[in-house]
Amino acid sequence: MLKNKTILLIITGGIAAYKSLDLIRRLRELGAEVRPVMTKSSAQFVTPLSVSALSESKVYGELFSLTDESEMGHIRLAREADLIIVCPASADFITKICRGIGDDLASTLMLAADTKMLIAPAMNVKMWENGATSDNVRTLKTRGHHFVGPDVGSMACGEIGAGRLADIEEIAQKSVRLLNPSEKLKDKHVLITAGPTHEPIDPVRYMANNSSGKQGHAIAVACVDAGMKVTLVMGPSHLEDVPGADVIHVSSALEMHEACMGLMPADVAICCAAVADWRPESPGKQKIKKEENTDHWDIRFIKNPDILRDLSMHKKRPKVVIGFAAETDKVEANVKQKLLKKNCDALVVNEISDWHDPFGSDNNQVGWVTNKGHEPWPLITKQEVAQRLLDKLEEMI
């Protein structure tokens, strides 16, 4: 999958640097030629000899090396790569690339390169959460740099939180996807809905659900990586916008419906949002006051339009329409009926139970349902669900 591809692997200083050895091994297994570049501090954590032995390549490290410059030249080193991976990427190195600082070979290469870049951050949780790091990461994302991770978990320093290097296999697979964009998916326009909807009761109250938008967000990121033209219609969420996607922020089901219909025609629609089926029929124009002489408050609800069904029935219907379903009981029967009623090509089904609640979680266990049958998928990250969904989409489109 990476045959004839040259990957420049920049290793920066951090406790996770030793994991770059595994990445080299995996990238080479996939057929890539790996040219390693090490910063001075990375050599405190992993030896150039191990890096060289595993990559079967010279390890580059000096900006002013006469031999390196006469053999290759740092500009050529940057330009000959099909992909640059920074793994692990320290907070300091991320700051350098964001600011355009070129004070060593690794940072100068990042400045001189015009190729795709994949950054795998790894650092202490407080460093990752620091506003400076967040700002730098956001800036780099908007410039088109791709990121993988960091994961959440316990760290070498004993703290728990976000900052762990992403799984090596995930970094390798993301590299494969960046270097092999599907010809079938490339440039196709996909409309994705994500997140909850807020149905107003009065100016200060609303009815909502626990969707965080993470699953739809992950699908949008995977679609951008696949070279698709992505429009994400997002209900209220704390997540950042997906770089490379057009993001339309909405609040209620009515607003989401209007935005989606206005986006037709599209090639693909993926409806992941947890849209409220009902909304208060007559939301109060002022804050509704608490009545002293009653313990009840009756609200009359009215049906919301069904966005998924209206997209599926649209005269400019997308070629492929995929819905999600969240079911607590009679899953098989309900899903069969939903597939028919909503006229979609496939449903990704969440079975909600005491032991599985995908709302807000980083993982999801779903089934892929079409009129040909039901394929259960294991408990995987929402990013992996997104990738499997794209594999299916590639077969369908």
Chain residues in the site for ligand PMT (CB under 6 A): 193, 195, 211-215, 253, 271-275, 277, 304, 306-308, 323-326, 350, 358-360, 364, 382
Give me the least distance between CB of 366 and ligand PMT, in Å please: 7
Pick 289 or 300: Cβ nearer ligand PMT: 300
Pick 195 or 318: Cβ nearer ligand PMT: 195
Which of 223, 141, 230, 231 is closest to 182 using CA atoms?
Answer: 223
CA atoms lying within 13 Å on the CB side of residue 349: 26
The one catalytic residue in 157, 260, 271, 344 is 157
Structure-token match 């030896």, residue found: 47
Which of 23, 51, 56 is closest to 37 using CA atoms?
Answer: 51
157 is catalytic: yes
Pick 17 or 307: Cβ nearer ligand PMT: 307
Pick 130 or 237: Cβ nearer ligand PMT: 237
Pick 89 or 223: Cβ nearer ligand PMT: 223
All residues at 6 or more sequence positions from 377 whose CB lies less than 8 Å from its CB, including other chains: 365, 366, 367, 368, 385, 388
Give me the least distance between CB of 306 and ligand PMT, in Å please: 4
User: What angle is formed at CA 337 by the lines to CA 332 and CA 338, rounded to 5 degrees?
Assistant: 95
Q: CA-to-CA distance for 393 and 270, rounded, in angstroms?
A: 10
**Would you call 73 helix, strand, or coil by DSSP?**
coil
Q: CA-to-CA distance for 216 and 196, rounded, in angstroms?
A: 11
Give me the least distance between CB of 25 and ligand PMT, in Å please: 33
Structure-token match 């728990």, residue found: 160
Q: CA-to-CA distance for 253 and 273, rounded, in angstroms?
A: 10
Give me the least distance between CB of 195 and ligand PMT, in Å please: 6
Pick 215 or 387: Cβ nearer ligand PMT: 215
Q: CA-to-CA distance for 201 and 219, rounded, in angstroms?
A: 31
φ, ψ of residue 302 in degrees (nearest 5): -130, 150
Q: Going by DSSP bridges, is the β-strand pair 146-147/116-121 parallel, antiparallel, or unpaired?
A: parallel
The set of catalytic residues is 157
